[in-house]
Amino acid sequence: MIETLKTVLEGSATAIKNKEYLSAKAYIEPFVERLKPYTSNFICNVKPADQVSYDDKGVDTIYNKVLIMAVFPDDKDVSINRNDKLVSYHRVVCMAYALDVKTPICKFYTGVVDSDLVFYAFGADCISVQKIEPDTPINYTFLQTIIDNGLKDNCQFILNQNVTRSISKDKIIENLGEWIDFTIKKEYINDSGKIKLSTGFPIEAYKALMINRDSDYFVDGDEIPMPEILKSFLYQVSCDDKDLINRYEKTQLVNQLLKL
């Protein structure tokens, strides 16, 4: 669910299993203050607590899962030439945290988004993960490193190397089983636990690429460009509002699945 930054900053503190956690403002405002020198564009995606309380001021809203994306201005864009057309990607730095999980966690990471806000991630040095302790501020020590890495051109090579690649539709038919097998067996492990792609991801991508002519990713002809294949997967990751916390890791899994 998309909310304004002002609304999210008004989120109340919460207690989970007798452990007191801070308000949304206490967690998010230091992130915003550190990114303000770079951008004024912040996009917030939240999952409110399952229960809300009421006081004399109205609804007391708690946000237990928050993803906030700082979108850098156009002069920081990564631009590539694709089929004689200039395609631009906006650099972003993100903060994601979850309180109502087995191990409360906070992540800072960087990457780029396209015009549809589909997220692309490149490089293990572009994410920092930490546990959230009750009634304790988040440690922002590593955020500047994440910002600096996001301003490098590490993503330019990855985007460029896939511009001219295409895969035949016959090969995609062969790959479908391999893709499903990957989602069953492969996982991304860090301090937040084990993260996997849904087995439904390759099936939905296959339908979008090969069957559904109304899909944005359907291509006539015998071959499909790699950027369309990649985006058919990453669109699903970026639109999964049930999992706001693991987008970076799932994007990395998609990169592995497609051997990028």
Q: What is the pLDDT of residues 99-134, one digit of tens each?
A: 988 899 999 999 999 989 999 987 767 899 999 999
Helix, strand, coil percentages in the chain from 3-state DSSP, rounded to 5: 35, 30, 35
Residue 91 confidence class, pLDDT cut points 50, 70, 90:
very high
* Cβ-contact 236, 208 below 8 angstroms: no
Task: Please check the confidence at residue 192 and state whether its pLDDT lies above 90.
Answer: no
Instruction: Please give the pLDDT value at position 178.
Output: 96
Which whole number is the average pLDDT over 202-210? 95
Residue 48 confidence class, pLDDT cut points 50, 70, 90:
confident
* Cβ-contact 36, 47 below 8 angstroms: no
Residue 187 confidence class, pLDDT cut points 50, 70, 90:
very high
- Which position has the higher pLDDT, 162 or 138? 138
Instruction: Please give the pLDDT value at position 205.
Output: 95
The rounded Cα 138 to chain-centroid distance in angstroms is: 20
Q: What is the pLDDT of residues 245-258, one digit of tens each?
A: 999 999 999 989 99
Instruction: Please give the pLDDT value at position 220.
Output: 87
Looking at every residue in the chain, the average pLDDT score rounds to 88
Residue 164 confidence class, pLDDT cut points 50, 70, 90:
low
